[in-house]
């Protein structure tokens, strides 16, 4: 008798579960297609944003006004060796990364590799951020954002 009661309870439970599952049917196929289209649109947006990121290399790389010689001259004339760094004989090379924007302006400057001294790194960033506009990089005839890395050496004489 106990077995029969358990079997009946199990059967009733299964029937209840089946009816509940029928009420919670999945969405029709048309709605799933809409969701897939939305996902594709989001993927396209993400791909477009990725294309807007700065390129590491362009057909025509950005250039400081007057070329590399003028860039070295600019750095030599504008870097102010911090007094505390001089007093403590701090030297090093700060590798700076920045983006040359489509209009030639400098943006997103940061230290890729520290000189080992915060004051020297800060001075390198200050000089980078105060640079005049560059000639923008070009890709397929269009101006593009290009990432650029520049080592700035601090050496006492």
* pLDDT, tens digit, 9 for 90 and up, residues 10-28: 333 333 343 444 444 443 4
What's the mean pLDDT in 124-146?
95
Q: Is the dihedral of CA 68, 71, 76, 82 positive or negative?
A: negative
- In sequence order, the 6+-apart residues with CB closer than 8 A to the CB of 68 are none
- As a whole number of angstroms, the distance between CA 75 and CA 73 comes to 5
What's the mean pLDDT in 67-74?
96
**Where do the structural domains in the chain lie, given as residue ranges?**
2-52, 68-154
> Which CATH number is 68-154 given?
3.30.1150.10
Tokens representing 122 are 């800060």
* pLDDT, tens digit, 9 for 90 and up, residues 24-64: 444 343 333 333 333 334 444 444 444 457 777 888 999 99
* pLDDT, tens digit, 9 for 90 and up, residues 73-107: 999 999 999 999 999 999 999 999 999 999 999 99
What count of other Cβ atoms lies within 10 Å of the Cβ of residue 65? 13
Contact present, 65 and 146 (Cβ < 8 Å)? no
Half-sphere exposure (Cβ direction) of 76: Cα atoms closer than 13 Å? 6
Please give the backbone phi and psi of residue 64, each rounded to the nearest 5 degrees, phi first: -65, 145
Pairing of strands 137-139, 142-144: antiparallel
Q: What is the pTM of this model?
A: 0.65
Half-sphere exposure (Cβ direction) of 116: Cα atoms closer than 13 Å? 10
- As a whole number of angstroms, the distance between CA 94 and CA 4 comes to 83
């Amino acid at each position: 008798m106990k077995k029969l009661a358990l079997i009946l309870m199990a059967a009733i439970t299964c029937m209840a579960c089946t009816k509940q599952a029928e009420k919670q049917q999945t969405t029709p196929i048309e709605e799933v297609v809409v969701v897939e289209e939305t996902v594709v649109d989001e993927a396209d947006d993400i791909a477009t944003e990725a294309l807007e990121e700065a390129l590491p290399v362009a057909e025509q790389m950005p250039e400081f006004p007057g070329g590399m010689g003028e860039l070295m001259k600019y750095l030599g004339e504008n870097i102010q060796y911090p007094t505390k760094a001089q007093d403590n004989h701090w030297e090093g090379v700060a590798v700076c990364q920045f983006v040359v924007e489509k209009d030639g302006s400098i943006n997103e400057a940061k230290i890729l590799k520290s000189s080992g001294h915060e004051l020297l790194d800060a001075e390198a960033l200050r000089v980078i951020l105060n640079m005049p506009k560059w000639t923008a990089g070009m890709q397929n005839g269009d101006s593009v954002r290009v990432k650029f890395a520049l080592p700035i050496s601090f050496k006492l004489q």
